Structure 1
C-alpha cells in the first residue's frame, strides 16, 4: 500500500482573504470551496499543476485556534514551495506582492529564499539541485 501526505490544514482568520493570497499571490489553484453550513467551508488550495500536497484553509474556531494563526510552527519555516525555475518564480512572487524576508541564497541543496504568507507563517521557495 502506498501512502502520501495529501492535505495539510492551515488555520486562517478568513477564508476569502486566504484564498486571495494563495491563489492570486502564490499562484495556487482553488481546488474546492464547499459550504459546510453554519459559516464553515471546506476550502482547499494547491499547486496549479495538480502535483504536491494541498492546503485545507481552516478558519480558526475559538481562542486557542485563533492564537495559532500566523505561528503554527513556533516561528520555524512551515512549508516548502518547490520550483524548477527559482529565478522566474521568485520574480513573479515579488511582482505579486509576496513579502520575502531575505534575498535568495544558494545552499548545498539548491536556491532558497524565505517568504511570509499573509498571516506571517514562514515558507521557503526552493529549487533543489539534487
Structure 2
C-alpha cells in the first residue's frame, strides 16, 4: 500500500504560516520539531488524519522566489470539504481572499482562494 503522506509548502516564516493555517483556519499542528537551523512543521486540515502539509521556510533567493508561485501560477493545492457553504463562509469570516464566487462544475462545487503567501488553492466539495 502507498499513499501521499505530505506535500511541502515553501513559506517565508514558520510562525506566520502556523498563525494563518492553525490560528485562522483551525488546522491542527501535528508536529513542530526544532532541528537547529530549521523545523519540521506538519499541519493537517480540521478532521483530517492524513494528507498533511509540511511548512518549509524558504532558504536562499531561489526558494524565496518560489513562495506563492510553486505551481507556476496555477491552483496547486486542493482542500476538500464535506460542507462547502459552511467552510466557504467561515473562511471568508477569517479574511481569506477568494478569487471568485463559488461555481458548480460536473465534479463538484469549487472556488479558488489564496493564502497570505500567494499560493492558490481550490476549496472543493466533490459531487
TM-score, L = length of structure 1 = 0.94
- Match in the other structure for 2:73: 75
The answer to whether the 8 Å contact 1:24/1:96 transfers is no
- Superposed displacement of residue 53, structure 1: 0.8
- Match in the other structure for 1:90: 88
- Match in the other structure for 1:16: 15
Q: 1:124 to 1:102 in 2, by over 3 A?
A: same
- Superposed displacement of residue 28, structure 1: 1.0
SS at match of 1:77: coil
**Stretches of structure 1 lacking an aligned partner (at least 5 in a row):** none
- Superposed displacement of residue 52, structure 1: 3.9
TM-score, L = length of structure 2 = 0.96
Aligned positions, number: 127
- Match in the other structure for 2:56: 58
Quick one: distance in 2 between partners of 1:79 and 1:7? 12
Which stretch shifts more, 43-52 or 98-107? 43-52
Output the aligned Cα RMSD: 0.9
- Superposed displacement of residue 47, structure 1: 1.8
**Stretches of structure 2 lacking an aligned partner (at least 5 in a row):** none
Q: Which runs of 4+ in 1 moved over 3 A?
A: none
- Superposed displacement of residue 25, structure 1: 2.6
